[in-house]
C-alpha cells in the first residue's frame, strides 16, 4: 500500500486528484435549522487537502451523507460545502456531473462533488460508474476510513481505474488501530457500549483473545444481564444467540454493570437501583450505569496500559442519563494508557466534554473501526493493496 505522504511536489504538481473522504457527520436542530453538531470527520480531512494543495495538485472531493435512495434534498452536501468554504475560499460545489465537467474544464483547484450516493451505481460498486468518476482524475486517494467497510464504487471499484493510495487520515487509522491488533501493551481494557449488540459481538469475540478485561454498558449489556437471570423491564434490546452468550461468559473477561439508572413511564425522574437482584420486572427502562459500576470500571481503567472505547454507556444525550458515559470518558482521558476512542456518538461525547486531545487517537470510524478490530478485511483497504 502506498501513502500520500510518500508523494512529493514532483509527483503531485498538476495532478487531478479524486479524494474520497467521509463527511457523514451528525446534525442537530437549532432554531429551526440543521447545524453540524460534530465536524471532526470534516476537519480530519484537512491534512490531506492541505498537503495536496501545497504540492499544487487539483482536487475533486468525493463524499456521502446519509443513505439516500436517489436524490434527496435533505441529504445534500451544501451544508458541508458551507463549512468547508470557511477554510477553503476557492472551493467550488458541483451538484451534477454536468457541473463537475464544466468546473473540471475551467481547471478549478478544489471542487466538492454532490452526495456521491445520489447517483446510481455508487452503492452497487458499479465498474461503469467508477469509470465515469475516474475520467475526472489521474490519481485516487482514499482518506475515508469510516466508509472503507463498504464495497462502494467510490471506495473499491474506482481503484481498478486509477493509481490508488491512502490519505493521511487513513494512514493514521491503520497505524494506530494496528497497534491494538499487532503490538498491544497489557493490561488491555476495552470499553464497549451502544444500543446494538449485533454489531459488537464480532468485536468482543475478537478482542477476547487480546484484551484482559471488557467493560460492557448500555443496550448491549441487557441481553447478557437477562441471560444471568436479571430483569430488564421494558428495555428494548437486540437478542443474541445463546451459544454466543455462553462463549462470552466462559471467557471470564466480560464485566457487566452492578447497578443501573432507570426510568419509568410515570415521569422523567431517574430511579437508581443499587442492587441488580432487587430490581423487579416492572415498567422501567435501563438508560445508564450506576455509581458502583462507575467506580468498579474506573479501577480497571486506571490500571490499564491500553484502552479502546467504542459506544456510550447510556443515553448520554439526556442529562439524567449522561453521568456514566461522562465519568468513564474522564477516567479514560486521565489514564496514562495508550487510548483510542471511536464511534460517532462516542466521539461526539468526547468532543462535547473537551477531552478529545487527551486521547492518543480519535478514530473517524464507527462500523469500520468495529470491522477492522474484529479482524475483518475492509474492502476499501484491501483495494489499496
For the chain, 385 residues long, the average pLDDT of each consecutive 10-residue run is: 95 96 88 83 97 97 95 94 96 97 95 98 98 97 97 98 98 96 94 81 84 91 85 79 80 91 74 71 82 96 97 91 96 97 93 96 92 90 97
pLDDT score recorded for residue 246: 80
**Are residues 50 and 175 in contact, defined by beta-carbon separation less than 8 angstroms?**
no
| Residue-range domains of the chain with CATH | 4-171 (3.40.50.1260), 184-373 (3.40.50.1260)
pLDDT score recorded for residue 123: 97
For residue 67, CA distances in Å to 76, 117, 219, 333 come to 11, 7, 24, 33
CA distance 10 to 213: 49
pLDDT score recorded for residue 80: 95
pTM for this predicted structure: 0.91
Q: What string of DSSP letters covers 110-161?
A: EEEEP-GGGSTTTTTT-HHHHHHHHTT-SEEEE--GGGTTS--TTTTGGGGT
CA distance 2 to 158: 16
**Residue 203 has which C-alpha cell?**
468485536
pLDDT score recorded for residue 54: 97
Other C-beta atoms closer than 10 Å to the C-beta of 87 total: 12
Edge to edge, the sheet with strand 139-142 lists 92-94, 110-113, 58-62, 16-20, 139-142, 163-166
Edge to edge, the sheet with strand 260-264 lists 271-273, 260-264, 284-289
pLDDT score recorded for residue 350: 96
**Residue 246 has which C-alpha cell?**
455462553
Q: Which amino acids are annotated catalytic? A: 41, 196, 344, 367
CA distance 290 to 274: 7
Amino acid at each position: 500500500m502506498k501513502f500520500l505522504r510518500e508523494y512529493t511536489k514532483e509527483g503531485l504538481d498538476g495532478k487531478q486528484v479524486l479524494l474520497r473522504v467521509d463527511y457523514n457527520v451528525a446534525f442537530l436542530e437549532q432554531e429551526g435549522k440543521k447545524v453540524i453538531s460534530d465536524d471532526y470527520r470534516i476537519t480530519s480531512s484537512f491534512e490531506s487537502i492541505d498537503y495536496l494543495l501545497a504540492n499544487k495538485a487539483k482536487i475533486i472531493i468525493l463524499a456521502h451523507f446519509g443513505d439516500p435512495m436517489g436524490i434527496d434534498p435533505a441529504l445534500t452536501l451544501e451544508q458541508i460545502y458551507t463549512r468547508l468554504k470557511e477554510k477553503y475560499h476557492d472551493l467550488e460545489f458541483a451538484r451534477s456531473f454536468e457541473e463537475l465537467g464544466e468546473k473540471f474544464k475551467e481547471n478549478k483547484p478544489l471542487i466538492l462533488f454532490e452526495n456521491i450516493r445520489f447517483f446510481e451505481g455508487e452503492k452497487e460498486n458499479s465498474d461503469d460508474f467508477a469509470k465515469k468518476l475516474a475520467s475526472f482524475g489521474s490519481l485516487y486517494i482514499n482518506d475515508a476510513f469510516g466508509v472503507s467497510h463498504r464495497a462502494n464504487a467510490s471506495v473499491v471499484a474506482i481503484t481498478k481505474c486509477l493509481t490508488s493510495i491512502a490519505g493521511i487520515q487513513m494512514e493514521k487509522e491503520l497505524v494506530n488501530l494496528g497497534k491494538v491488533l499487532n503490538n498491544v501493551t497489557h493490561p488491555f481494557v476495552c470499553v464497549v457500549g451502544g444500543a446494538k449488540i449485533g454489531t459488537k459481538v464480532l468485536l468482543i469475540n475478537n478482542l477476547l483473545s487480546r484484551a484482559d478485561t471488557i467493560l460492557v454498558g448500555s443496550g448491549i449489556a441487557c441481553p447478557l444481564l437477562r441471560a444471568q437471570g436479571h430483569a430488564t423491564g421494558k428495555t428494548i434490546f437486540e437478542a443474541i444467540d445463546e451459544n454466543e452468550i455462553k462463549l462470552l461468559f466462559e471467557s471470564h473477561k466480560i464485566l457487566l454493570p452492578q447497578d443501573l439508572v432507570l426510568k419509568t413511564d410515570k415521569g422523567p425522574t431517574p430511579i437508581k437501583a443499587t442492587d441488580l437482584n432487587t430490581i423487579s420486572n416492572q415498567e422501567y427502562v435501563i438508560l445508564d450505569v450506576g455509581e458502583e459500576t462507575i467506580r468498579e470500571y474506573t479501577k480497571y481503567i486506571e490500571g490499564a496500559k491500553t484502552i479502546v472505547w467504542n459506544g456510550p454507556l447510556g443515553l448520554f444525550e439526556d442529562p439524567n442519563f449522561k453521568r456514566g458515559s461522562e465519568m468513564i470518558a474522564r477516567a479514560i482521558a486521565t489514564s496514562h494508557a495508550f487510548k483510542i476512542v471511536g464511534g460517532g456518538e462516542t466521539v461526539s461525547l468526547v468532543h462535547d466534554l473537551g477531552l478529545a486531545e487527551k486521547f492518543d487517537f480519535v478514530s473517524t470510524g464507527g462500523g469500520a473501526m468495529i470491522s477492522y478490530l474484529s479482524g475483518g478485511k475492509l474492502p476499501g483497504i484491501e483495494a489499496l493493496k
